[in-house]
Structure 1
Amino acid sequence: MNNPAVALYCSDAKCQAANDLNHKFCQACSTPLLRRYLWMIGGDVRDVAQGTLLEERYQVCQARIVLDTKPAESPTPPEDIPEAIAPYLKLIPYRLHLPQVYGIISLANRPTPTWLLEYGTLPNAPDFSTGHILPSLLQQWPHATAVRQLNWLWQIAQLWEPLENQGVVSSLLSPALIRVQGQILKLAELQGDTRRENPEIPTLSHLGQLWLTWQPLASPLIRKFIQQLAEALQNGKISDSHQLIYVLDQAIAQATQARQQEHHLSTATDAGPSRSHNEDACYPPHNTRQSLAQGENSLAIVCDGIGGHDGGEIASQLAIEALQQSVQPLLAEPPAQSPEIITELLETAISRANDLISQRNDSEQRQMRKRMGTTLVMTLSHQHQMFCAHVGDSRIYWITRSGCHQLTLDDDIASREVRLGYALYLDAVSYPNAGALVQALGMSASTRLYPNVGRVIIDEDSVFLLCSDGLSDDDRVDQYWATEILPILTEKRDLKTVTDRLMEIGQTKNGHDNITIALVHCQVQAKPATGSNLITLPPLHELPAPSIYHKTQTPAPLDEPTEPMLKLKPRLNWVQRSLLAGGILLGLVLALGSLSWFMFPEMRQQADRLLGNSPARPPVASPPPISPPTTLPQPTQSITEVSLNQWVVFERSVELYPSPEVVSNPQTIPPQTPLQIRSRSTRGEQVTWIQFRHCLPSPREEGINPEETTPPSPGITSPDSPMPPNEGELEEEFKVGWMRVDLTREAQMLLVTVVAPVTDCLPE
C-alpha cells in the first residue's frame, strides 16, 4: 500500500517537515503526525493503482481511498460548486454524521473532476478490507448491544428531516452508504433523491421496510420492538420523523435503565504567555477536580470574553454566573425531564445570560467596539444523554475509542459561507476575516440570538473537551487528541494530568491567546443483572401529533448561526413566540397604514412634500367621503419584483453591506429611507444580492472587537475595509450598499413601497 518514496509531512504549519510514513511523531518538532484518509467520488477512480501519488500529495491506499500526505497545505478549491455537491456544504451543521468535501483533484484522462470527502481523524489506520474508510452498519449490527442498535436508529431518525429538505434522504435507505464509527452513525456519501433508476419519492414507509430487514439480527431485547416500529412506519401510524424520534427516545430510556453513569470533571484557565490578563472563564472554577455520584447531572461551561481588559472578562464571568444559576435547579431535579424541556431551559438560560450582558452594555453606554461579550460552550448531562450548547467559536469535542468528533460549528463568516453553498470549508477559512463571528453573547438583544443546542446519546465511555480557541486554533486538538486525551479511556490516565498537558500544548504550540479547558469523563457501566425486560412499542395513541412545522418551519436566517448539530423536535420557544406576535402586529399596522394611505390624500401629499416630489402647499380640503373601492390597489410589493433604477422605501430598518464579499460592518438604514435599486447579483438558486444607493452618511467604520496592540483576541471582529467606490455614473453625494435576500424565505417578506425619484442629492 505504501510507496517508500512518499513522505508524510508534518501538519504543523510552522514545521511541515518530511517524515517516513511509518513514523507517529514528526522527527523535527515532535508533533503527532496527522493522517487524513479521504474518499474519492465522481469520475472513474477504481483503476488508479495503489501507491500512486496524485497531484504530488494524495497517496492511493486502495480503490477510492487516499491519504493526504501534506495536511498543512490547503487543498485545491473548485472554481464553482455543482448542484450535486451543494448538499454537503449546506448540511455542514450535521457533519458529525456526514462527510465534508475536502477538496478536488483532476485525474489524467478523466472527463469529470474527482471530489475528496473526509470523515475526521482516526486513532489508527482504517481496515481497508471493509472497502471503505469506515465499516458498514450491516457489518457491525449483529455484534452491537440493544442500546447501540437503538442509538443508530435514533441518529437516522434525527437526520431524516434535514436530508429530506436537501433532497438526499434516500442516502438513509441505501445500506451500502450507512457506515458507523463506534456508536456514531455516518454516511459514506450523499445520494440524490431524484434518480432515473429510482423515481419513487423516499418516505418513512421505505425506512420501515429497510429496518424490517435488520430485525432478525437485532438484539433479542429489541427484536419485537423493531418489528412493531417498522410495521408502524409502513402502515403510516408513525407518519412524522419527530414522532419516530419520540418513540426511539422512549425505547432508549428503557434500555439504559440497566446501565449507570459516572462523571468526572477537570477545569483549568490561563492568560497564556502573550496576554497580560485572562478574559476567559469556566465552570466549575479553575483547577477544579470533581467526581459526581451515580444519578448526578454534570455541568461544564467555558466562555471566551470579548471586549478587552475592561469588558471581556466581565462578560465571561457574568455569563458563567447567570448560566450556572439558571441551570442549577435542573441539576437537582429527578431524572424525569423530557429532552424538549431541557433544551428549552438551556435556550432560555442562554438568552437570559445574553440579555444580562447586553443590558450592562446599554447601561454603561458601550457601543460598537466598546461593547463587551463572550463566546459560550456548555455541556449538561442527563441520564444517558449529553446536551451541548454553544454560541461563538469556542468548541466542544467528543472523544471515544474510535475517533475525535467536533460537535460544534463555529459561528463565524467561514462557516456561514459554507452553509450558503458558496465555498468548501478549507477554502473559506482562508478568506479575509473568515474568523469574524456572526454572533456572541451580549452584543445585541436575545431576539437576534440563535443559540445552538443539541444532544447526543452516550452508550460507551467518552470524554468531552470544552475549550476556547487558545487551544483549538491551528488544529491542535486534531493533532493531539489520540496521544493526550484518548489515554483517559484506554490507559485510565488521570484527568488532571491530561488537563495540565493540554494547557501546556496551548501555551507552547499556540501561545497567542487565553486558554481555557474543561474535560468531562463519562463512564458507562452495566448494573447488576436484574432480569431482562423486553422493549416494546409505546401505545401509538400517545404519540405527539405530527409536527405542523414539518416542511414549513422557518429556520434561523442564513446570516445568523446555524441549527444544532442534532436537530430536536421543532417548537416555538419564547423568542419565536415574540417574533410571531411582532410579525402579526406589524402586519396589522401595515394594513391600517395602507388603507389610510388611500383614504386620506393629505397623507400622500405630506409624504410627497417630504420626499421632494412637490412644493409645500396649504392643505386642501378633503372631498366628500366616498365609498372605498371593492379592491384596493396594493401599495407594497416584494423587493425582488421591483425593476432596476426604481426608488423604494422599506417599512422597517434594513442592513446594507459594503459588498457581497464583505458581509460585516453593515450600515443600518432607518425605515422609510428612499433607496434606489442599482443592480442585482444572483448567487446560486436561493440567494440574490441587491445594490442600493442612498443619501445617508457613511457608517462609522467600527467593528466590535477592541483595538489591541497585541494580536487580537479571537472574538467578534469587523474588517476595517472602506466602502467600495461608487460606480462611475454615481455622484459622490450618494452612497451604495448591498442587501442579501434569501429567495426561499425572505423574498415575500421584504415588502417595499415604490416612490418617486429622489433629487435632493443630485447636482443642480
Structure 2
Amino acid sequence: MDISKVTISCGKNDCPGVASLAQSHCPLCQTPVIKRYLRLVGAPHLQLTPRTFVGEGDRYWVTDTPDIVLDTKPRLLPVLTETFPAAIESYLRLSPHLLHIPEVFGLLTPQEGWLLEYPSVPLGQDGLPQFPQLFSALTEAWATATPLQHLNWLMQIAGLLPDFLEQGVVPTAYYLEDWAIHGGIVQVQKLRFEPNQPLNLQRLGKVWEDLLNQVDPVIQPFCTRLQQGLLQGHIQQPQQLYEILHQGALELGRSQYDYHYRVYTQTDAGPSRDHNEDACFPPPGKLYPEEPLAIVCDGIGGHEQGEVASAIAIEQLQKQLIILAANPPRNRALIQEKIAEAVLGANDVICEQNDQERRQDRNRMGTTLVMGWIHGPELYLAHVGDSRIYRITATSCHQMTYDDDLGSREVRLGYALYKDALSYPGAGALVQALGMSPSHSIHPTVTTSILDQDAIYLLCSDGLSDEGQVEAHWQTEIAPLLQGAKDLTQVGERLIEIANTKNGHDNSTIALLDVRVQNHPQDLAIAFPKLTQLQPTLVQAKSTAPPAKTQMPRLRGQAPASRTSNRLLLMAIGAFCLLGISGLLWQQWRRSSTREATPPATPPLINPVPITDAPEPSSPVTLPGGELETEPIALTKNQILQLQDEANLTAATIPGATVPDTLVIPGGSILRVEEITADFQVMLKLCRSSAQTIPANSQPLTEGNNGWVALTDLEGQLVEDFVVPAVNPCGPEVE
C-alpha cells in the first residue's frame, strides 16, 4: 500500500479534517496531528500483514514492523475492558514508573491484542518512526553515550528491579533487546511476565558483561569491580546495586562535569478567571541565571483563598531549601527526607491557618505543588497533586510526575486503563493536596535524577497541561531552546499564550528550568565505593494515596461566580464527587468479586541463586595496575567458621587498616561472617576465643567484638567441613 494514502483524522472534536503522514498540523484547523504509534503484545497467534489496516473500522495501520501500528483515528477511545490478564495488570501497577514503562492504551479488537503507548516517539520527515522498534536499542545507544550516561542508565535499570520483583516481571531485566534509550531515559519496550521468579543478580552481571567492557577508561576500573561484585555474589540486593551506581555517577558528575542553569517563571489568571490562585518561585516575569530552585503551586480551584495557600507553600519551601542548601546531607536519601519534611512543614502551616480560621471541608484552602532543586549533578523533584513536571530534550518529552488523582490511582491499583478511568465520575478529583489534611495523611513524592545531558524541565499547573497541550507543542515551542533557536523568556510567554487560547479554563503558571551539562574529561578514574559506606535506603521515595475520605474534587472549566453562588456550587459538586467516589468503590468491589480467586503469592526471592546455564570457564580479571585478581573463597553472611589451631589471624578495627590499628584472633577461634564488602573485606565477629597463645605485645580481639580481614587472608586458614556445635556460640543470625 502506498503510504501517501494513509491519513490521520484530526484530534479536535469538532474538526472533520484529515492529514497525511507527512503533515504536522491539520490542514483545516492547524491543530498538531496526533501520530500515535503503538506496540501489539499479548497476541502470539495474531499475524499482522505490513501496510494493511486492522482493528474495528480499520482503525490501525500496520507498519513495516508487524507489531507496530499507527492509530489513524486518535480522537476515538480504544476498545476497553474491565478485566485484565495478570501480565497486563503488571503494566498498570508499574504505571508510576511512567518515565520507563509504556502505558496500556487498549485492545486491538474486543477479542485479543493489547496495545502499548509510548511518549514522544521520534519520527522522520515522512511521519514514520525513525527506528523500526520505535526507539534506539540500549546496545546501540551505548556505543556513543558518555561515561556519566552509562552509569545513569544502569542506575535507572537498577531502580526498577525491586518493583519488577514485586510485579513478577524480573525476566525483563535479562533481555537487553527489551531495553531502549529515548532522550537519555531508559525505556522498557515490553515486560516479560513470569511470576515468582527470583532476582538473580549474578545472571544480571553476566547479561551486562559486554556493556561493562565497553566503557571509557575513567569508569573502566569501577565497572570491572561492579561486574566482579555481581558475578561473585557480593552485591546481593538491587538497592545495593542502585547505591553503588549512584555513588559512581555522583563522583563522576562532581569531578568531571560543569552544570549551568537558569530559570524563567510566568503566571496568568487566564481569560475565564477573575483572580489568580497560582504562585511560583522565583517571582514571575524575570530570567534568573544560576538559580537552582523552581516551584509552581496551584491554589485549589473553587477553594477560598487558594492564592493564600499557594503563597504560604512557596514561602515555607523557599525558607527550608535555603537552610538545606547551606548544609546539605551527603546521603541522597537524607536529602529526600529533608525535602519531604519541608513539604509537610508547608502543609502544617496552611493547615494551622485553616484551623485558626475554623475552615472545614471544602472551605479549607489548599494547593498543589511541583518543585525542582538542583544540587550538584542531581535534580531533586517533589510533587503533591496534579501539577506536573516535564523533561524535554531535543528529541523527547517525558512527563516525570504521576498525578495524585482518582483516575491515576485506579490505574496503579490495576483496576482500569487510563483512557477508561478518565470517564469515571470524579476521575479528576485529587487524592491529596497541601493544606487539606494533617501531615500524616499527606504523602509527597520525592525523586532524584542524575543530570547527564542538556535538558529543559517544565513545571506547570494544569491550566497548561490539560488536554495534552505540552505533548502537542513541546517539539515546536520548547525543544528549539536547546539549539539556541529561541529565547527562554519568549518560550515562557508563548506557553502561557497556549494555555489561555487552547485551554483557557483556569489560571496557568509555568517555570522553565534550563540545564546545560558540560564535560571536562580527566584521566583520574573514579573510585568504587565500599558496601559498608552505603546506607540501606529505598531506591526512590514513593507516594501512597491517602484514604478516600480525603479526596477532593477539582473544578475545571467553571465560569467565575459570586462567593455565595460559588459556595452553593461547591457543595453540589462535593456531593456529586462523593457519589463518584462511591461509584469507583462499587466498581472496584464488583471487579474484585468477579475475578478468579488466586492462591497467595509465594514471597519473592531476592537473594542471588546460581546461574542455571552452564557457566563458561572464567579467566582471571586483570586490574588497572596489571595485577591478576584470583577467585576468592566463597563466604556468605552469617556463615560460622573456625580457624585452624595454628592460624592466628590479624584483624583490623576498620576495613583495610594497618598496624597499629590491628588485633589478633587466636587460632582455633570460632567466628561469624557479619559483612562482606564489594572489595572483599570481611567483618568477622569473634564468638568463642581459643586458648592458643598469641605473639607477645599483641592485643587480642575479645569475644563479642568485630574485626576486619581481607578475604584472601582466610585462604588456607579455616577448618574444612567445620560443624557448628549444637549450642551455637554465635547466637541468633543477624538480619
TM-score, normalised to structure 1's length?
Answer: 0.71
8 A Cα contact 2:303 2:366, kept in partner: no
Distance 2:418 2:430 in 1: 15
Q: Give the equivalent residue in structure 1 for 2:369.
A: 376
**1:404 alignment partner, one of 397, 420, 423:** 397
1:451 CA displacement: 0.2
Residue of 285, 289, 314 corresponding to 2:287 = 289
Residue 169 of structure 1 pairs with residue 170 of structure 2: yes
Return the letter of the residue paired with 1:163: F
2:608 matched to which residue of 1?
Answer: none
Compared with structure 1, are the counterparts of its residues 240 and 715 closer, same or farther at alpha carbon in structure 2 (3 Å cutoff)?
farther
Q: What's 1:103 paired with?
A: 106
Partner Cα separation in structure 2 for residue 201 and residue 117 of structure 1: 26
State which of 65, 69, 74 in structure 2 corresponds to 1:71. Answer: 74
CA deviations 1:503-533 (Å, max 9, x no partner) are 1101111111001011000011123x5x311
Separation (CA, whole Å) in 2 of partners of 1:182 and 1:361: 43
8 Å contact kept, 2:303–2:363: no
CA distance in 2, matches of 1:139, 1:708: 50
Is the contact made by 1:302 and 1:518 (CA closer than 8 Å) also made in structure 2? yes
- Which of residues 475, 482, 487 is equivalent to 2:475? 482
**Matches for 1:221-300 after TM superposition, within 5 Å:** 221-256=218-253, 257-292=255-290, 298-300=292-294
* Distance apart, 1:476 and its partner CA: 0.4
SS at match of 2:249: helix
Task: Output aligned runs, 1:212-611, within 5 Å.
Answer: 212-256=209-253, 257-292=255-290, 298-306=292-300, 308=302, 310-333=304-327, 337-527=330-520, 529=521, 531-544=522-535, 557=544, 559-560=545-546
| Preserved CA contact (<8 Å) 1:300 1:518 | yes
Deviation at 1:708, TM superposition (A): 6.7
CA distance, structure 1, for counterparts of residue 2 and residue 324 of structure 2: 53
SS, match of residue 306 in structure 1:
coil
Q: What corresponds to 2:611 in structure 1? A: none
| C-alpha deviation, 1:231, in angstroms | 1.5
SS in 1 for 2:440: helix
Please give the alpha-carbon distance, in whole angstroms, between the structure 1 residues aligned to 2:269 and 2:142: 47
Q: Secondary structure at the match of 1:373?
A: coil
Structure 1 CA distance, aligned partners of 2:357 and 2:554?
16
Change (3 A) 1:393 1:235: same
Structure 1 residues 50 and 518: alpha-carbon distance in aligned structure 2, compared to 1, 3 A threshold: same
1:66 deviation in Å?
1.1
Cα separation, partners in 2 of 1:482 and 1:556, compared to 1, 3 Å: closer
Task: Check conservation: 2:477, 2:491, Cα contact below 8 A.
Answer: yes
Shift of residue 79, structure 1, vs aligned partner: 3.9
Deviation at 1:213?
A: 3.0
Spell out, residue by residue over 1:134-158, the C-alpha distance to the aligned partner (whole angstroms, 9 max, x if none): 1211112122111111111110111
Tell me the C-alpha RMSD between the 2 structures. 3.2
Change (3 A) 1:45 1:127: farther
Q: Output the amino acid matched with 2:7.
A: A
Q: 1:2 to 1:253 in 2, by over 3 A?
A: farther
Aligned residue number for residue 619 of structure 1: none
Quick check: 2:426–2:553 contact (8 Å CA) kept in 1? no
Q: Deviations over 1:564-585 (max 9, x none)?
A: xxxxxxxxxxxxxxxxxxxxxx
Count residues with an aligned counterpart. Answer: 578
CA distance in 1, matches of 2:332, 2:276: 35
Post-superposition shift, 1:130? 4.9
| Alignment of 1:92 onto 2:91 | no
CA contact (8 A) 1:222 1:534 kept: yes
SS in 2 for 1:321: helix
2: CA distance, partners of 1:176 / 1:715: 52
Please give the secondary structure, in 2, of the residue aligned with 1:66.
Answer: strand
**Alpha-carbon distance change, 486 to 128 in structure 1, aligned in 2, over 3 angstroms:** closer
Q: Is the 8 A contact 2:265 2:284 kept in 1?
A: yes
After superposition, the Cα gap between the structure-2 partners of 1:40 and 1:463, relative to the gap in structure 1 and judged at 3 Å, is same
Deviations 1:256-312 (A, max 9, x none): 2211111111110010001000000000111121111xxxx6100001102647411
Task: Indicate conservation of the 8 Å contact 2:172/2:191, yes or no.
Answer: yes
The one-letter code of the counterpart of 1:459 is: D
Distance 1:118 1:95 in 2: 11
CA distance in 2, matches of 1:85, 1:400: 30
Counterpart of 2:282, as a letter, is: P
**Structure 1 residues 408 and 167: CA distance shift in structure 2, 3 A:** same
Contact 1:370 1:704 in 2 (8 A): no
Deviations 1:336-375 (A, max 9, x none): 7321122111100000000111111111111111111000
- Per the TM alignment, residue 703 of structure 1 is displaced from its structure 2 partner at its CA by 6.7
Q: Contact 2:265/2:492 (CA < 8 Å) preserved in 1?
A: yes
Q: Residues 305 and 130 (structure 1 numbering): CA distance in 2 closer, same or farther, change over 3 Å? A: closer
For 2:586 and 2:26, the matched residues in 1 are separated by 49
Matched, 1:142 2:163: no
SS in 2 for 1:518: strand
Counterpart amino acid of residue 139 in structure 1: E
- C-alpha distance in 2 between matches for 1:2 and 1:390: 47
User: Whole-Å Cα distance in 2 between the matches of residues 209 and 96 of structure 1?
Assistant: 26
Deviation at 1:709, TM superposition (A): 5.4
User: CA 1:707 to 1:504, structure 2 compared with 1: closer, same or farther past 3 Å?
Assistant: closer
CA-CA distance at 1:38 after TM superposition: 0.9
Aligned equivalents of 2:363 and 2:122: distance in 1?
44
Q: CA deviation at 1:738?
A: 11
CA–CA distance in 1 between the matches of 2:578 and 2:391? 41
Partner Cα separation in structure 2 for residue 484 and residue 438 of structure 1: 32
Indicate the residue corresponding to 1:116 in structure 2: 115
- Aligned runs of 1:25-64 on 2, under 5 Å? 25-43=25-43, 44-55=45-56, 56-62=58-64, 63-64=66-67
1:720 equivalent to 2:722? Answer no
Which deviates more, 709-718 or 450-459? 709-718
**One-letter code of the match for 1:49?**
P
Instruction: Work out whether 1:80 is the aligned partner of 2:83.
Output: yes
Note closer, same or farther for the CA distance 1:69–1:491 as it changes in structure 2 (3 Å cut). Answer: farther
Comparing 185-194 with 498-507, greater Cα deviation is found at 185-194
Give the fraction of aligned pairs with identical amino acids, expressed as a percent: 40
State the secondary structure of the residue aligned to 1:93: coil
Runs of at least 5 residues in structure 1 that lack an aligned partner in the other structure: 561-654, 656-662, 667-701, 727-735, 745-764
* C-alpha spacing 1:708/1:155, structure 2 compared with 1 (3 Å): closer
Alignment partner of 2:205 out of 204, 208, 226: 208
State how far apart, in whole Å, the 2-side matches of 1:739 and 1:80 are: 11
